[in-house]
Amino acid sequence: MASSPSIVWLRDDLRLADNPALSAAIERGGPTLVVYLLDEDSPGARPLGGASRWWLHGSLRSLADDLAALGGRLTLRRGAASDVIPSLVAETGAGAVYWNRRYGALRDVDAALKVSLRADGLVVESFGASLLHEPWKITSGSGDPYRVFTPFWRACLAAGDPRPPLPAPASIDGLAAAGDDLDDWHLLPTRPDWAAGLREAWTPGEAGALDRLERFIDEGLPLYHRRDEPGIEATSRLSPHLRFGELSPHQVWARVHGPLEPAAAANRAKFLSEIGWREFSYSILFHQPELATVNVRRDFDAFPWGEPDPAELEAWRRGTTGIPIVDAGMRQLWTSGWMHNRVRMIVASLLTKNLLIDWRVGEQWFWDTLVDADEASNAASWQWVAGSGADAAPYFRVFNPVLQAERFDPDRAYVRRWVPEVDGPEYPRPIVDLAASRIEALAAYEAVKAAK
Ligand code: FAD
């Protein structure tokens, strides 16, 4: 049993159960320092959007309480990991550092740190904790990453069951170091406080995540075949919990393979394949860390995106386009920090195709406003809708928001909920002619075809 302390550096894994880095530290023995860094300084770090900052505050608060209940402490520090982690090692005399892996640009920070800490004689280990399968293990026959979802997911399923989740530790011999007060990070909005709708909709933290999973198993999963209907609660809303790692996909996988009612069991495979889209997004990010800025299909670099019309962009952001399903989605997003998947596709199609605004503008708005804003899934999904991404919908497939609403919100429950004035005289006329703008979009796409 080691007598020197271990450091567990938490990032997108704000949980105690199924946390391999935490379990490794406890198994090593000796005191454990658990640290979270607010790192906006490392190369490749993207500052969190407002809704994510709100979520992070709640999640860290909950984690600190959960740790304290087991005898642990959460230390908060701010700054670049390459400075803060070595100084924590020096302050505590730690002999080991553990973390769970990241898959985007910041993995270079982790790799460099691992080399330098090991050179100083420390034990440093990283673990797979947020994906069912490590991206470098799922490759096509030729060894290249998959570009199409269906064979990717088939390969994941063929790779066998993911490891079972680990239990939460029974107790922690906690060590603390001097750190920041969470409130001093000012993650919560104050003037104005726009978070009332978020507080009403969500409970950040591990307990809230497990609660949400159980509720979904009982109420949502039996209805999951109707997941495309935004007016009913048929999807899990686990996305922000998975984003911050309050719950791992291994826990979801294990629960969904546990006892289920027949109606829920019938939807198991479909639900897991959506978790598969998350894995696919991370696989794309792993092979292209600059996914939020660079087209996956480089022929799209020739696409003639227009300069956004400020009034049109503002109407899209605020949900005043005069297109009811779009306005409903954008208001759901602004109010609750979340939007139904089908509607995300519709609003993204309107922005990139009917308004010819660069997908990166939409990606940034979602980054700021979604509680589940995710470096892999957000960028990959925007590129998917825009046509520039992996396994993307062909550009010429332009969603018609009127037909989409008729098909997926036939009783208009969703639109009426978020746009109560929709049938009144004050509701605006559409800001864009859908038929004419579709033809313009197809003409603009010719530039991509010419660039091939
Ligand atoms: P469920 O249907 O219950 O699915 C379960 C889980 O699977 C989700 O929580 C999520 O982790 C994952 N998942 C489901 N669908 C997808 C998908 N298409 N791609 C990747 N993962 C998926 N998802 C995010 O988590 N973060 C984002 O920033 C994000 N941005 C998006 C932007 C656009 C333009 C679009 C079209 C989709 C985006 N998605 C994003 C994917 C999807 O819309 C959400 O994951 C889903 O709506 C979350 O709701 P849920 O948890 O109820 O999903």
> Residue 447 has what pLDDT?
83
Residues above pLDDT 70, as percent of the chain: 100
Q: What is the arithmetic mean of pLDDT over 190-207?
A: 95
| pLDDT exceeds 90 at position 365 | yes
pLDDT digits 0-9 by tens, 162-189: 999 999 999 999 999 999 999 999 999 9
Q: What is the arithmetic mean of pLDDT over 392-419?
A: 93
User: Does the beta carbon of 272 lie inside 6 Å of ligand 1?
Assistant: no
pLDDT digits 0-9 by tens, 284-305: 999 999 999 999 999 999 999 9
**Dist CA 346 CA 71 (whole Å):** 48
Query: Is pLDDT larger for residue 54 or for residue 390?
Result: 54
User: Does the beta carbon of 246 lie inside 6 Å of ligand 1?
Assistant: no
User: Does the beta carbon of 238 lie inside 6 Å of ligand 1?
Assistant: yes
User: Does the beta carbon of 352 lie inside 6 Å of ligand 1?
Assistant: no
Phi, psi torsion values for 230, nearest 5 degrees: -70, -15
User: Does the beta carbon of 74 lie inside 6 Å of ligand 1?
Assistant: no
User: Does the beta carbon of 275 lie inside 6 Å of ligand 1?
Assistant: yes
Q: Where are the alpha helices (DSSP H) in 216-340?
A: 239-243, 249-256, 262-265, 268-287, 310-318, 324-336
Q: Whose CA is nearest to atom 14 of ligand 1?
A: 274
| pLDDT exceeds 90 at position 221 | yes
> Residue 51 has what pLDDT?
98
Kindly report the average pLDDT of the chain as a whole number. Answer: 96
Torsion, CA 309, CA 314, CA 316, CA 318, rounded to 10:
-170
Q: What is the arithmetic mean of pLDDT over 436-441?
A: 95
> Residue 178 has what pLDDT?
95
Residues above pLDDT 90, as percent of the chain: 94
Query: If we measure between CA atoms, which residue out of 378, 388, 403 comes closest to residue 445?
Result: 388
> Residue 391 has what pLDDT?
83
Q: Whose CA is nearest to atom 21 of ligand 1?
A: 278
> Residue 11 has what pLDDT?
98
Phi, psi torsion values for 391, nearest 5 degrees: 50, 35
The Cβ of residue 385 has, within 10 Å, a number of other Cβ atoms equal to 25
345 CA: nearest ligand 1 atom: 36
> Residue 70 has what pLDDT?
98
CB 371 within 8 A of CB 52: yes
ipTM here: 0.99
pLDDT digits 0-9 by tens, 106-163: 999 999 999 999 999 999 999 999 999 999 999 988 878 899 999 999 999 999 999 9
pLDDT band at 425 (very low <50, low <70, confident <90, very high): very high
pLDDT digits 0-9 by tens, 112-124: 999 999 999 999 9
Query: If we measure between CA atoms, which residue out of 353, 347, 321 comes closest to residue 437?
Result: 353
**Dist CA 17 CA 254 (whole Å):** 13
Spacing, Cα 329 to ligand 1 middle (Å) = 14
pLDDT digits 0-9 by tens, 66-84: 999 999 999 999 999 999 9
> Residue 142 has what pLDDT?
83
* Dihedral sign of CA atoms 171, 175, 181, 182 in order: negative
User: Does the beta carbon of 243 lie inside 6 Å of ligand 1?
Assistant: yes
pLDDT band at 227 (very low <50, low <70, confident <90, very high): very high
User: Does the beta carbon of 383 lie inside 6 Å of ligand 1?
Assistant: no
Spacing, Cα 275 to ligand 1 middle (Å) = 8
> Residue 143 has what pLDDT?
78
